[in-house]
Amino acid sequence: DQQVKQNSPSLSVQEGRISILNCDYTNSMFDYFLWYKKYPAEGPTFLISISSIKDKNEDGRFTVFLNKSAKHLSLHIVPSQPGDSAVYFCAAILNAGGTSYGKLTFGQGTILTVHP
Amino acid sequence: DAGVIQSPRHEVTEMGQEVTLRCKPISGHDYLFWYRQTMMRGLELLIYFNNNVPIDDSGMPEDRFSAKMPNASFSTLKIQPSEPRDSAVYFCASSYGMGVGELFFGEGSRLTVL
């Protein structure tokens, strides 16, 4: 039972254009969402997060949008750079304010390739 | 600053053997997590500790898996006996309690059980 889904295994984008990575979830009780980036042979690194009480959070070139009614979140990267090429995981937390704050449920990941 | 350190980076073993994976969290972090990544199931949480105490081990697949954290700077994940289906990349992560979900991952230990 995959509660967090990234339906696009891969995405290819030209340098300078926008990258949009999508994520859907099924559990309406998730109250915190995150994006992680992973390079080959490295561990995932935290990128950006959003609480369920917000619908947008921005950090430089990265913006995460949350649509709770649709149970959908997306990560926008503008402009995309070749160094952004990596696997991107979305993740969700149930009861983030409680003891399970680090218990992340991950999606399967999307491989982003940014071409020069 | 030293990040989360895991060893070994690669381990190849035969079915039935005992495997021990090691993790040194970032100094000062009070949470430690063990995650496993497989093609079939993606990244999944196995167990996590707070101040060296196991909080949630509901993700541990079966009794063959055990984890310990004898002190704030060291944790082990043991599989005994190992099976081919345990082949995966095992990640250790740590965090300080204030950052919700912001975990610092090690580089992972790639386990292959033949």
In the 8-state DSSP scheme, what is residue A79? Answer: S
Which ranges of chain A does DSSP label H, i.e. alpha helix? none
Closest Cβ opposite residue B103 in set A32, A97, A102: A102
- Cβ distance A101 to B97 less than 8 Å, yes or no, reads yes
Q: Is A39 on the interface with B (CB under 8 A)?
A: no
- The amino acid at residue B39 is M
In the 8-state DSSP scheme, what is residue A17? Answer: S
DSSP B35-53: EEEETTTEEEEEEEEETTE
Closest Cβ opposite residue B42 in set A34, A45, A109: A109
Q: Give the tens place of pLDDT for each residue, B52-94.
A: 999 889 999 889 999 999 999 999 999 999 999 999 999 999 9
Q: How confident is the model at residue A100 (pLDDT cuts 50, 70, 90)?
A: low
Mean pLDDT of all residues in A88-95: 90
Q: Give the tens place of pLDDT for each residue, B23-34.
A: 999 999 999 999
Q: How confident is the model at residue A11 (pLDDT cuts 50, 70, 90)?
A: very high
Indicate the burial class of A92 (C-beta count within 10 angstroms; 0-12, 13-18, 19 or more): buried
What does the pLDDT read at residue A97? 64
What does the pLDDT read at residue B39? 84
Q: Is A25 on the interface with B (CB under 8 A)?
A: no
Closest Cβ opposite residue B101 in set A34, A41, A43: A34
- Cβ distance B100 to A49 less than 8 Å, yes or no, reads yes
Q: Is A66 on the interface with B (CB under 8 A)?
A: no
Which of these, B27, B106, B55, lies nearest to A103 by C-alpha position?
Answer: B55
The mean pLDDT value of chain B amounts to 93
Check pLDDT > 90 for residue A98: no
What does the pLDDT read at residue B76? 98
Q: How confident is the model at residue B100 (pLDDT cuts 50, 70, 90)?
A: confident
- The amino acid at residue A65 is F
Distance, first Cα to last Cα, chain B: 36
Range of lowest pLDDT (B2-6, B24-28, B98-102): B98-102
Rounded Cα distance between B43 and A104, Å, is 9
**Would you give the distance in Å from CA B36 to the centre of its chain?**
7
